[in-house]
């Protein structure tokens, strides 16, 4: 298969979809890898490092998109990239389609096989490709929140850790998942007074155990959310429903009740945000104020630490990417249920139920969308099917992985 790795063009997005070690794994397996010139520079990876492992560097983004059967990215394609998307192409990246209806329309019209990192999900319910970025974003949420609390950045002028004789800053974290746990670790390390809210009592029990009572755990009901937001200096939103829009748990009215100079950091912004007053911002202009409350809502927070986040991300994405390249997308999703859950669009259909529901598309189950044949109506084999010889050679592996769908995660 021909793999394309374009340079990310989202504002101050410095990550890259594939590191040289990952590219080498594709090349060694017989695939061709094109990398756009300068694609890895933001993460400290030079073009010659890709060339050394057998990749070809292409100067023009349009050429790379046109020649590639599968595009491996970090962030969803943005408007200038829509025209570069090829009909029937595989795109393997973060999509968060519930928050970008215009992109979903393009993917449907161009019959793209959109494999979303954020919805690949093994039977245990984990999100292995979202986890590393959630860990980074959770830790960053406290760092940027602490900075935003400084008076020069519009905050109330509070040091999270306080000093002897002066109260510590109060942090409320809504959501006790990967983001919330990572945020709590950093907040505690800075000496803050931390509360975590979640609807899952088993999760709260687990958090109470691992933090040994150092954090306050509360059920995430409207009363507790309101009280914590009003009393806290920093509120972190870390709520996730895979593939769907985040629920609005902090209303505009509640934001008005918070003290002036408080800070909210909505890590869920790329899924629409769990704070009603949130709107996506960039690393160039990361904050804005509503009712005197500073909002930090950067949709690609890990892009600020591209060296760490690129390697963490590609460690997780490479196995599934190889599976798609080796088998073709249809055979790969049939062989691996976790990967199948990552398929958001295919053949002009929306194949992920939460996305279809949120954006008003008819939901078409994956088996219905892919049908019984990997061929187009005109009889031509689709781009996203592996060459017949390769598919035949890999059929035994596909059957084995069907019995153990999460073995490669």
Inter-axis angle of helices 306-327 and 395-403, nearest 10: 120
Per-residue pLDDT of the chain (409 residues; tens, 9 = 90+): 999 999 999 988 999 999 999 999 999 999 999 999 999 999 999 999 999 999 999 999 999 999 999 999 999 999 999 999 999 999 999 999 988 999 999 999 999 999 999 999 999 989 999 999 999 999 999 999 999 999 999 999 999 999 999 999 999 999 999 999 999 999 999 999 999 999 999 999 999 999 999 999 999 999 999 999 999 999 999 998 777 788 999 999 999 999 999 999 999 898 888 999 999 999 999 999 999 999 999 988 999 999 999 999 999 999 999 999 999 999 999 999 999 999 999 999 999 999 999 999 999 999 999 985 433 333 333 444 433 333 333 333 333 333 333 222 2
Dist CA 4 CA 383 (whole Å): 13
Inter-axis angle of helices 20-28 and 306-327, nearest 10: 10
- How far separated are the first and last CA of the chain, in Å rounded? 21
Rounded to 10 degrees, the C-alpha dihedral 289/293/299/305 comes to 110
- C-beta of residue 264 within 8 angstroms of C-beta of residue 252: no
Count other C-beta atoms under 10 Å from residue 229's C-beta: 24
pTM reported for the whole predicted model: 0.82
326 tagged catalytic: no
Which domains are delineated in the chain?
A: 2-119+305-403 (3.40.50.720), 136-299 (3.40.50.720)
Rounded to 10 degrees, the C-alpha dihedral 26/31/36/42 comes to 0
Q: Which position has the token pair 């008005």? A: 256
Catalytic choice (31, 96, 295, 349): 96
Dist CA 17 CA 60 (whole Å): 17
Q: Which helix (H) or strand (E) holds 173?
A: strand 170-174
Catalytic choice (270, 326, 358, 385): 270
358 tagged catalytic: no
Q: Which helix (H) or strand (E) holds 235?
A: strand 234-237
Spatial CA neighbour of 92 closest among 115, 66, 126: 115
């Amino acid at each position: 298969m021909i793999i394309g790795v374009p340079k990310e063009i989202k504002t101050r997005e410095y990550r890259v979809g594939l590191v040289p070690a990952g590219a080498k794994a594709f090349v060694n397996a017989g695939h061709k890898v094109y990398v756009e010139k300068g694609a890895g520079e933001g993460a400290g990876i030079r073009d010659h490092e890709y060339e050394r492992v057998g990749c070809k560097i292409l100067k023009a983004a349009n050429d790379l998109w046109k020649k590639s059967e599968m595009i491996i990215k970090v962030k969803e394609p943005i408007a200038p990239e829509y025209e570069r998307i090829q009909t029937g192409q595989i795109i393997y990246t973060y999509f968060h389609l519930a928050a970008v209806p215009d992109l979903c329309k393009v993917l449907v019209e161009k019959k793209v096989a959109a494999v979303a990192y954020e919805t690949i999900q093994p039977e245990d319910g984990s999100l292995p490709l979202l986890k590393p970025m959630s860990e980074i974003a959770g830790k960053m949420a406290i760092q940027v929140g602490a900075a935003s609390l400084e008076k020069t950045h519009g905050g109330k002028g509070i040091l999270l850790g306080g000093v002897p004789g002066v109260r510590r800053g109060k942090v409320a974290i809504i959501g006790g998942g990967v983001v919330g746990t990572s945020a709590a670790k950093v907040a505690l390390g800075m000496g803050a007074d931390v509360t975590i809210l979640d609807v899952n009592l088993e999760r709260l029990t687990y958090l109470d155990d691992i933090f040994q009572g150092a954090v306050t755990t509360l059920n995430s009901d409207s009363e507790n959310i309101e009280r914590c937001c009003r009393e806290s200096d920093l509120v972190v939103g870390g709520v996730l429903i895979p593939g769907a829009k985040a629920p609005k748990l902090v209303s505009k009215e509640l934001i008005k009740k918070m003290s002036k100079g408080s800070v909210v950091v909505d890590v869920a912004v790329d899924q629409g945000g769990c704070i009603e007053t949130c709107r996506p911002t960039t690393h160039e202009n990361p904050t804005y104020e509503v009712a005197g409350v500073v909002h930090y809502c950067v949709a690609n927070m890990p892009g600020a630490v591209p060296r760490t986040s690129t390697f963490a991300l590609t460690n997780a994405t490479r196995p599934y990417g190889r599976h798609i390249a080796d088998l073709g997308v249809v055979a790969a999703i049939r062989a691996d249920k976790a990967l199948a859950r990552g398929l958001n669009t295919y053949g002009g259909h929306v194949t992920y139920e939460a996305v279809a529901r949120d954006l008003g598309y008819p939901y078409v189950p994956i088996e219905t969308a892919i049908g019984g044949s990997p061929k187009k109506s005109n009889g031509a084999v689709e781009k996203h099917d592996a060459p017949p010889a390769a598919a035949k050679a890999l059929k035994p592996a596909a059957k084995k992985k069907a019995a153990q769908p999460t073995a490669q995660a």
